[in-house]
Amino acid sequence: MFEPILTRNIHRPNSEKIATYLAHGGYAAVKLALTKTPDELIEMVKRSGLRGRGGAGFPAGVKWGYMPKGAGIQKFVAVNTDEGEPGTFKDREIVERDPHQVIEGVIIAAYAVGASRAYVYIRGEFFLGVKRWIKAIADAYEYGFLGRNILGSGFDLDMSVHRGAGAYICGEETAMLESLEGKRGNPRLKPPYPAQAGLFGLPTLVHNIETLACIPHIVERGPEWFASIGTAESKGPKIFSVSGHVNRPGNYELPLGVTLREIIYEHAGGIRGGRELKAVIPGGASTPMLTASQIDVPMAYETLKAAGSELGTGAIVVLDVTTCMVETARRLTKFFAHESCGRCTPCRIGSQRLYETLDRIESGKGTMDDIDRAVELARGIDGITFCPMGAMLVNPARSAIQHFRPEFEYHILNKHCLVCKSKERNYG
Amino acid sequence: MRNPQSAIENPKSRAMLLAALYIAQEQYGWLNPEAIRRVADRLNLTEGQVRSTASFYTLFKLEPQGRYRIQVCEGLSCYLVGGAEPMMDFISKKLKIKPGETTPDGKFTLEVVECLAACDLAPALKVNDELYGQMTAEKIDALLEELRNV
Ligand SMILES: Cc1cc2nc3c(=O)[nH]c(=O)nc-3n(C[C@H](O)[C@H](O)[C@H](O)COP(=O)(O)O)c2cc1C
Ligand code: SF4
Ligand code: FES
C-alpha cells in the first residue's frame, strides 16, 4: 500500500499551523540540508528524478544546475501558486493545509542555488491561501527558519507573498515575473530563461509548489527512495485532482505510474450513477483527451505522451456518456480564447476563430466544412506562438474531433446534440 | 535595469503596483479615477500606466461594484455536475439582473468566472472572497436570503 507523503499532514486538525508541522517532524530536512553543500543538494535533486509539477515536467535538478554559481550575483526563487488550469485544485489544497512543507522546500532550494529572496506569487482568487501563506511565512520567521543566519548556518533568506489579480496567463513563468514586477502579465520571449535573466533581470528559479513540497522528503529520505517510486521516467508521488462525473471528486496522492483506471474506479469511487465512461482529460484542460478504451494507461510523463496526451498538472476530468464532446471542446476553447494575453496574433485571433467555429457547430448552425476549418485553425496556431499557450489551447478541440468526429457531424446534420437532452438539470 | 524607458528609476517600486491597486480598490470599492490618480502619484507612474496594468487583471474593477460580488464558475467540472449556465440563470432570475450587472440597490453584482480551483466542490461560486461549494438550488436560496438581510 502506497503511503501518502505530500498529503500526509493535511487531514490532521490545524494542519496549516507551524506547531502541527513541527510536531510531525517538520523542518528537520532544512536542518539536514544546511549541513550539506549546495552542490550536494543539486546532485540529490538530479538523482531523485523529480520533474516539475506545474505542467511542463522539466527535470528540477537540471534547472537548479542552470542557475549561475557564486555569491556575487543576487538570485531569487519564485514560487508559483497561480493554479488556474481548469480541473486542477491541488495547489490550493497544499497552501491552505500544509504551507510549511512548501516553505521548507523553498528554503532548501534557495540555499542550494544561492538565492537570498523568495517571492511567492499566488492566484488572486485564493483568499484563504493568501492568508495561510502570510501567517506561515510570519511563523517561519519567528522560529528562525527565515531571515538572517537561518539556524546559525550563516544563510539568509527573505520571503514575501504577492497576490495575482485574475489572469490565467500569469501562471506561465515569464508572465508571472512580469506580474511580480507590477506589469501586465505578457509572457517574455525565451531564451533567456528565468534561470539566466528572471525577476528584475536577475537569475530566478521558478517552481510550482507541489515540486517544492517534494524537496524536503528527497533530502530527508534520500534521492534513491524518491526514485524508487514511479516509472522509468516519472519518479515520485503525485497529487491527482479528480473531478467531473465521479462519485468521490478530490485530490489523491499516488505514485506516478498508477493507471487512470485505478484512480477513477478505486480511488475516486467510479462513475456517478454507475454510468458508462466516455472520455477523460488526464492532465488539466490543456491536455488532449483520451477515450474510455485508453484508461489502462499509466499516469506517467512517457506513457501519456505515447498515448497521445500529457501528464500536465495531473488533473483528471472524468466525462461519462451523458457528456457532449462538442460542448466540452467549445467550453474549454472559450476559456483559452478569453485568457489569451493578446500579444501574438495566432493565439489572440486564432483562439477566437476556433471558439466561434465550435460554437457554431454546437448551436446547430455549423456546416460540414467547419470541422475541417477547426482542425485547420488548430494547425495554424500550434507551434508558432510566442509562448506555449498556443500549443495548449488547441488540444481540447483537436482531440475531441480526433476521437469523436461523428458527434460533431451529428450536430451539424441534425442541428442539435446527440446527448445533451439527458444533461442534469438541478435548477428550476 | 530592464526597462530604462519607465517613468520610474527603481523597478522595485513599480513592483508594488498590484498591491497598491488592491489597497485602493478596498478603500474606494472600485478603481475610480481618483483611486488611479492616487496610486499613480504614490508610485511615480503615469495614470495611463496604472490604468493599462489594472485593465489586464479581471480582479481589478474599473466600474462600480455591488456590495456582494457573486462569481459563478463556468468551468468544465462545474458544468458537468449541473453548475455553470443553469446555475447562473437561476441566480440571475432571483436577482433580476444579467451577468455583468449590478442590482439597482447596489447590493449584488453578478459575474462569470473561470475555474476557481474548487472542482472537487463543484458546482462552485464565490461571494467576494468567500468560496461556496456543492451548490444546490436550496443552498443558493439560503445564501441569497442571508446576504439580503445583512
Ligand atoms: C499558459 C500557461 C499557464 C501556466 N500556469 C501555471 C500555473 O498556474 N502554475 C504553475 O505552477 N505552472 C504553470 N505553468 C508552468 C510554468 O510556466 C512553469 O513551467 C512552472 O511554474 C515551473 O515550475 P515546475 O518546474 O516546478 O513545474 C503554466 C505554463 C503556461 C504555458
Ligand atoms: S501565445 Fe497567447 S498567451 Fe502566449 S504570448 Fe501569445 S497571445 Fe499571449
Ligand atoms: S470548474 Fe468550477 S471550480 Fe473548477
A205 plus A62 within the same structural domain: yes
Task: Look at strands B130-132 and B125-127 and give their pairing.
Answer: antiparallel
Instruction: Give residue A377's pLDDT.
Output: 97
Domain finish residue from A193, A209, A227: A227
What pLDDT is attached to residue A416?
A: 80
Residues 74-133 of B with CB under 8 A from A: 74-77, 79-82, 84, 86-87, 89-90, 93, 113-122, 126, 129-131
Same domain, A311 and A331: no
Residue A10 belongs to a domain: no
- A426 interaction partners in chain B (CB closer than 8 Å): 82, 86-87, 136-137
* Domain membership flag for residue A67: yes
Question: Quick one: A167 and A126 in the same domain?
Answer: yes
Per-residue pLDDT for chain B (150 aa), expressed as one digit of tens each? 333 334 334 667 899 999 999 999 999 999 999 999 999 999 999 999 999 999 999 999 999 999 999 999 999 999 999 999 999 999 999 999 999 999 999 999 999 999 999 999 999 999 999 999 999 999 999 999 999 998
Which CATH number characterizes residue A265's domain? 3.10.20.600
Q: Indicate which atom in ligand 1 lies nearest the CA of residue A212.
A: 26
Domains in chain A, number: 3
Name the β-bridge partners of A235.
Answer: A230
On whether both A83 and A163 belong to a single domain, the answer is yes
What is the pLDDT at residue A278?
98
Domain that holds residue A342: 325-423
Beta strands B125-127 and B68-73, pairing class: antiparallel
Same domain, A129 and A114: yes
Least CB–CB distance from A182: residue in B16, B58, B140: B16
Q: Tell me which of A204, A227, A250 is where a domain ends.
A: A227
Return d(Cα A34, Cα A32) in angstroms, integer.
6
| pLDDT for position B2 | 37
In a domain, A100, yes or no: yes
A186 plus A256 within the same structural domain: no
> Are A83 and A125 contained in the same domain?
yes
pTM of the predicted structure, to 2 decimals: 0.96
Cβ neighbours of A342 (radius 10 Å): 13
The shortest C-alpha distance from A47 to chain B (Å) reads: 32
Q: What is the CATH number of the domain that holds A121?
A: 3.40.50.11540
Neighbours of A190 (CB within 10 A): 14
In-domain check, residue A428: no
Q: Give the Cα separation of A94 and A96 in Å (integer).
A: 6
Q: Do A266 and A209 fall within a single domain? A: no
pLDDT of residue B11: 67
Give percent of chain A with pLDDT exceeding 70: 98
Give me the residues of chain A with pLDDT under 70, please: 420-428
> Both A274 and A393 in a single domain?
no
| pLDDT single digits (tens) A164-223 | 999 999 999 999 999 999 999 999 999 999 999 999 999 999 999 999 999 999 999 999
Q: What is the pLDDT of residue B9?
A: 45
Q: Are residues A310 and A176 part of one domain? A: no
Residue A37 lies in a domain: yes
Given A181, A207, A227, which residue is the final one in a domain? A227
Mark whether A303 and A332 lie in a shared domain: no
Q: What is the ipTM of this complex?
A: 0.95
How far apart are the CA of B80 and the centre of ligand 1, in A?
25
What confidence score (pLDDT) does residue B150 get? 82
For position A1, what pLDDT does the model report? Answer: 77
Co-location of A221 and A243 in the same domain: no
Q: What is the pLDDT of residue A422?
A: 42
Distance from CA of A33 to the nearest CA of B (A): 31
Extract the runs of DSSP E, i.e. beta strands, from A31-172: 76-81, 117-122, 158-163
In the chain, the amino acid numbered A160 is S
A212 within a domain of the structure (yes/no): yes
Give the per-residue pLDDT at A305.
98
